[in-house]
């Protein structure tokens, strides 16, 4: 008889978690990825095909890393929406924005990724970094993302990946148990970061993400493993109007 899986967290659980870790979220990401998360995020921005003048969306924006990157791309003639359901994360993002003024308007919006307060077919390019895994309904989240994208627009979704080999899987587990958990413990966040392992176990594989994207109505969906397969980027696009 297999071990029972811990129950999936509720939306309120996840929202509370990200509210609590907001003050140290940036520094912890920097330490845990050795700064590589910025490289992976820039890859996602490039795959989103954001361009000058675009209206771009950074969904589950957290403290705003990709929103700032998108702003640099779309420029003064574009605009960016940074959407997250954690009010504490958005406070950090807005403060970062205040300290680093940009010519591009960034609108920080507290909202649920499953029910976006954005008009249908209003977004030219979108990113979602380490947020898909935390949605309580991934299929609904993808469908809502498709709704707000214009025909032909792309979204790039960065997250952990299920390793392709036993050796890579062993390394990922070692990384979580030897680096992530102790670092979180040192910062008083043991319980908050204990969710990563179970959330990764529940997260669909790259092939399953592609299938879910097609079910959500996307015409094109490709999953690219990166970082030796430890991370992945799902790139989705749709050629038709929502309907």
User: Contact, 102 vs 71, CB < 8 A?
Assistant: yes
Please give the residue range of the domain that contains residue 58: 11-237
- At 159, is the secondary structure helix, strand, or coil? strand
Q: Is residue 243 part of a domain?
A: no
For the question of whether the overall pTM of this predicted structure is more than 0.85, the answer is no
Report the C-alpha gap between 136 and 123 in whole angstroms: 23
- At 176, is the secondary structure helix, strand, or coil? helix
The CATH code of the domain that includes 190 is 3.40.50.150
Report the C-alpha gap between 213 and 7 in whole angstroms: 25
The continuous run of DSSP H or E covering 77 comes out as none
Q: Is residue 27 part of a domain?
A: yes
DSSP tag of 24: G
How far from chain centre, in Å, is Cα 54?
20
Q: How many domains does the chain have?
A: 1
Closest CA to 132 of 243, 36, 216: 216
- Which residues, at least 6 apart from 202, have a Cβ–Cβ distance to it below 8 Å? 5, 8, 133
| Full pLDDT tens readout for the chain, 243 residues | 333 445 666 777 666 656 565 555 555 666 555 566 788 899 999 999 999 999 999 999 998 999 999 999 999 999 999 999 999 989 999 998 988 878 899 999 999 999 999 999 999 999 999 899 889 999 999 999 999 999 999 999 999 888 878 888 888 788 777 777 777 777 666 665 666 667 777 889 999 999 999 999 999 999 999 988 888 999 999 876 655
Q: Is residue 2 part of a domain?
A: no
Q: Is residue 64 part of a domain?
A: yes
Q: Is residue 65 part of a domain?
A: yes
Report the C-alpha gap between 13 and 199 in whole angstroms: 13
* 3-class secondary structure per residue, 2-17: CCCCCCCCCHHHHHHH
Q: Is residue 6 part of a domain?
A: no
What does each C-alpha distance from 101 to 76, 83, 164, 227, 233 come to in angstroms?
Answer: 12, 19, 42, 32, 29
How far from chain centre, in Å, is Cα 233?
10
* 3-class secondary structure per residue, 84-143: ECCHHHHHHHHHHHHHCCCCCCEEEEECCCCCCCCCCCCEEEEEEECCHHHCCCHHHHHH
Q: Is residue 3 part of a domain?
A: no
């Amino acid at each position: 008889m297999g071990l029972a899986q811990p129950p999936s967290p509720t939306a309120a659980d996840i929202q509370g978690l990200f509210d609590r870790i907001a003050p140290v979220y940036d520094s912890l990401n920097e330490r845990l990825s050795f700064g590589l998360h910025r490289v992976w995020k820039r890859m996602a921005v490039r795959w989103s095909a954001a361009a000058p003048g675009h209206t771009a969306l950074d969904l589950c924006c957290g403290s705003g890393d990709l929103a700032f990157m998108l702003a640099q791309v779309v420029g003064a003639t574009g605009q960016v929406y940074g959407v997250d359901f954690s009010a504490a994360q958005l406070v950090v993002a807005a403060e970062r924005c205040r300290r680093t003024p940009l010519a591009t308007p960034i609108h920080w919006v507290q909202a649920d990724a499953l029910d976006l307060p954005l008009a249908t077919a209003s977004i030219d390019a979108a990113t979602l970094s380490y947020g898909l895994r935390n949605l309580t309904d991934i299929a609904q989240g993808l469908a809502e993302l498709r709704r707000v994208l214009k025909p032909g627009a792309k979204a790039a979704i960065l997250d952990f990946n299920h390793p392709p080999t036993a050796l890579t899987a062993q390394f990922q587990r070692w990384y979580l148990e030897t680096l992530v958990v102790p670092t979180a413990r040192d910062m008083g966040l043991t319980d908050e970061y204990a969710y990563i392992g179970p959330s990764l176990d529940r997260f669909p594989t790259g092939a399953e993400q592609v299938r879910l994207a097609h079910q959500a109505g996307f015409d094109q969906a490709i999953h690219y493993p990166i970082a030796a397969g430890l991370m992945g980027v799902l790139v989705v696009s749709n050629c038709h109007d929502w309907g």
